[in-house]
């Protein structure tokens, strides 16, 4: 079997044939699956967390799809320095040019262009012959090479593509100048031995395969995305395309945290490694879960709440004697603290600082004085404060530091069995303050009716969830919701000791997102109305 070890390099240019490149597509494929689009600020937060995680390449979006996506890709390309930023494009010049324009602010960047290659896609979706598709692919790669030497080409639905056609397309794309060839299992159809066999066949039959890195992008429709990705690595592939928490279209994508820990835990068998900083995994997972409004299932591998929990008496007995009896990796290895430190109002600033450091936060990630004052207030309310509480407080501070149009200054709710609930709210709207009250069929409904009267906007709460964050019955209340406004979905998130207050914060969070969207639309309209500047030749 041939290989591409000569061009498997670190970002500093040194060769490393056993390194697997991690290509994160959370902000592109992952975001496509969300009920509400992320703001530019939220995307930037996620991109910086992914960069801190040690990801090699960040696919930041699909620039041609919308002005908002173009802007977010450009902002990420301006900000991220330690990961290569990538944009996706179809095999058409307009898409590729949009990628180049958005990414040109970066010192180095990647253009990722794709076209379908399976018979069902070529004939039924594209309505073309395979030779026409091949010509489009060759032209797209050559055109993308005008802007960068780092061009990736994907054979969409490669898992169902006839192997002769796949070999032919891969050979021609490499010949045209693609330095990375991606083999996607777009619909999650193949089995691990089948998918690994496709990769092995490419290495055996494509004469110029050593001139490119072979990548894989596996979907999870049959729950095999991670298994297929690892089978491909064993067959010689050296790039995995994946997402945080496995989010993505339909059943999701290959999970980054799972493949990273498989390579670390079973390095003795696989003989490969990645540049992922494993202690950042849990922190990054939490951030993506919060901002994307996609809770992680408790039994999710690596980052689920139960991933390092032991309920069986036999298991507990074994753990007390030796942790490796039932744990093949430690929670600390992915950034989860095994010991919950109980903090009280008697704890000093130095204890809070030490605890934040142990959770993976640097001193410049937060203002200690602000965090400590909020900690004392929470400690007075609930007695003990836990790690999750500290992270929730930090999240609230970060949200408050953003420029917001709406802000709850005060609220009160009355409710009882057999009575209508009533709520009053004092809402800051820009420089003004509005006070309103309303009744509802429950305390949250009453509060939302009062807020709706205060803001005088027509919106609908289409999804609302409440949960507990922290330890036990006195954990913090978390509210997640989706608001529909003018045909678009906007996500809101709130945390507080009182679930009613958290619900109010979540709605106001969504309303602020609506306000930002209206401001962006207004600025775009103003630019469109401006007369074109005259040019002097």
State whether the Cα torsion 478-245-276-46 is positive or negative.
negative
* Residue 404's pLDDT band (cuts 50, 70, 90): confident
What are 362-387's pLDDT values in tens digits?
Answer: 888 888 888 888 888 878 876 767 66
Picking from 114, 112, 150, the residue whose alpha carbon sits closest to that of residue 9 is 150
Give yes or no: residues 220 and 179 share one domain: yes
Q: Phi first, then psi: what are they for 80, rounded to 5°?
A: -75, 130
Residue 7 reports pLDDT greater than 50: no
What are 230-241's pLDDT values in tens digits?
Answer: 999 999 999 999
* Residue 488's pLDDT band (cuts 50, 70, 90): confident
pLDDT of res. 176: 98
What are 19-41's pLDDT values in tens digits?
Answer: 999 999 999 999 888 877 888 99
Residue 217's SS3 state is strand
Q: Give burial (CB, 10 Å; 0-12/13-18/19+) of 494.
A: buried
Give yes or no: residues 360 and 441 share one domain: no
Answer yes or no: is 532 within a domain: no
Highest mean pLDDT among 264-278, 319-333, 400-414, 491-505: 264-278
What are 99-156's pLDDT values in tens digits?
Answer: 999 999 999 999 999 999 999 999 999 999 999 999 999 999 999 999 999 999 999 9
Name the average pLDDT for the chain.
87
Answer yes or no: is 530 within a domain: no
Give the whole-number percent of the chain exceeding pLDDT 70.
86
Give yes or no: residues 145 and 134 share one domain: yes
Tokens in use for 500?
């009613």
pLDDT of res. 313: 47
Residue 477 Cα distances to 123, 263, 291, 474, angstroms: 52, 36, 16, 9
Dist CA 481 CA 261 (whole Å): 32
pTM > 0.85:
no
State whether the Cα torsion 360-365-369-371 is positive or negative.
negative
Give yes or no: residues 441 and 333 share one domain: no
Q: Which domain holds residue 317?
A: 308-338
Give yes or no: residues 360 and 327 share one domain: no
Residue 532 reports pLDDT greater than 60: no
pLDDT of res. 416: 76
Answer yes or no: is 529 within a domain: no
Dist CA 399 CA 389 (whole Å): 15
Give yes or no: residues 182 and 277 share one domain: yes
Question: Which of 233, 267, 292 finishes a domain?
Answer: 292
Number of neighbouring beta carbons within 10 Å of residue 475: 17
Give yes or no: residues 384 and 245 share one domain: no
Answer yes or no: is 173 within a domain: yes
Give yes or no: residues 414 and 397 share one domain: no
Taking residues 184-191, report their average pLDDT.
97
Answer yes or no: is 536 within a domain: no
Taking residues 156-173, report their average pLDDT.
97
pLDDT of res. 2: 37
Within its chain, how far is the Cα of 121 from the centroid?
28
Answer yes or no: is 245 within a domain: yes
Residue 175's SS3 state is helix
pLDDT of res. 298: 86
Q: What is the CATH number of the domain that holds 433?
A: 3.30.160.270
Provide the domain count of the chain: 4
* Residue 533's pLDDT band (cuts 50, 70, 90): very low
Answer yes or no: is 494 within a domain: yes
Give yes or no: residues 492 and 354 share one domain: no
pLDDT of res. 346: 74
Question: Which of 380, 401, 422 finishes a domain?
Answer: 401
Give yes or no: residues 322 and 230 share one domain: no
Give yes or no: residues 393 and 266 share one domain: no
Q: Compute the chain's Rg from CA coordinates.
A: 25
Give yes or no: residues 489 and 476 share one domain: yes
Residues ≥6 apart with Cβ < 8 Å to 94: 64
Contact 500, 447 (CB under 8 A): yes
Question: Which of 382, 401, 420 finishes a domain?
Answer: 401
Answer yes or no: is 533 within a domain: no
> Given the structure tokens 């395969």, which residue do they identify?
209
Q: What is the CATH number of the domain that holds 55?
A: 3.20.20.70
Number of neighbouring beta carbons within 10 Å of residue 125: 12
Residues ≥6 apart with Cβ < 8 Å to 114: 88, 89, 90, 91, 153, 154, 155, 156, 182
- DSSP letter, residue 486: T
């Amino acid at each position: 079997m041939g290989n591409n070890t000569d061009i498997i390099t670190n970002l500093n240019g040194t060769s490393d044939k056993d390194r697997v490149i991690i290509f994160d597509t959370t902000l592109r494929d992952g975001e496509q699956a969300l009920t509400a689009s992320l703001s530019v600020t939220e995307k930037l937060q996620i991109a910086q967390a992914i960069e801190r995680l040690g990801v090699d390449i960040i696919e930041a979006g699909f620039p041609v799809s919308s002005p908002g996506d173009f802007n977010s890709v450009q902002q990420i390309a301006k900000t991220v320095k330690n990961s290569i930023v990538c944009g996706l494009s179809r095999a058409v010049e307009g898409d590729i040019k949009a990628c180049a324009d958005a990414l040109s602010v970066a010192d180095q960047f990647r253009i990722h262009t794709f076209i379908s290659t399976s018979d069902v896609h070529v004939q039924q979706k594209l309505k073309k012959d395979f030779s026409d598709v091949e010509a489009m692919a060759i032209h797209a790669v050559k055109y993308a090479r005008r802007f960068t030497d780092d061009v990736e080409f994907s054979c969409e639905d490669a898992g169902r593509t006839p192997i002769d056609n796949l070999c032919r397309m891969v050979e021609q794309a490499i010949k045209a100048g693609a330095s990375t060839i991606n083999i996607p299992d777009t619909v999650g159809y193949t089995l691990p031995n089948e998918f690994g066999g496709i990769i092995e066949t490419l290495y055996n039959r494509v004469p110029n395969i050593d001139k490119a890195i072979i990548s894989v992008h596996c979907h999870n429709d049959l729950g095999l995305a991670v298994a297929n990705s690892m089978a491909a690595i064993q067959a010689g592939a050296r790039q995995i395309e994946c997402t945080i928490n496995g989010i993505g279209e339909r059943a999701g994508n290959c999970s980054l945290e799972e493949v990273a820990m498989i390579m670390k835990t079973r390095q003795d068998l696989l003989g490969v490694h990645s540049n992922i900083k494993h202690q950042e995994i849990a922190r990054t997972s939490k951030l993506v879960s919060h901002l994307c409004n996609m809770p992680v299932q408790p039994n999710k591998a690596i980052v689920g709440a139960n991933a390092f929990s032991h309920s069986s008496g036999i298991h507990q007995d074994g753990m007390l004697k030796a942790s490796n009896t039932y744990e093949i990796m430690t929670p600390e290895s992915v950034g989860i603290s095994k010991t919950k430190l109980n903090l009280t109002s008697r704890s000093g600033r130095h204890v809070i600082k030490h605890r934040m450091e142990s959770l993976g936060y640097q001193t410049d990630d937060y203002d200690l004085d602000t965090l400590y004052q909020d900690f004392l207030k929470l400690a007075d309310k609930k007695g003990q404060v836990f790690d999750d509480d500290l992270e929730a407080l930090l999240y609230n501070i970060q949200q408050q530091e953003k420029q917001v149009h709406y802000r709850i200054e005060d609220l009160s709710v009355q409710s009882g069995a057999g009575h209508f609930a009533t709520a009053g709210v004092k809402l800051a709207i820009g420089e003004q303050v509005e006070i309103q009250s309303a009744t509802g069929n429950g305390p949250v409904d009453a509060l939302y009716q009062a807020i709706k009267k205060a803001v005088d906007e027509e919106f609908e709460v289409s999804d609302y969830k409440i949960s507990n964050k922290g330890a036990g019955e006195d954990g913090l209340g978390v509210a997640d919701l989706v608001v529909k406004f003018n045909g678009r979905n906007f996500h809101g998130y709130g945390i507080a000791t009182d679930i009613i207050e958290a619900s109010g914060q979540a709605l106001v969070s969504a309303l602020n997102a609506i306000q930002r969207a209206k401001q962006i639309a207004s600025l775009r309209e103003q630019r469109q109305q401006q007369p074109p500047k005259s040019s002097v030749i």
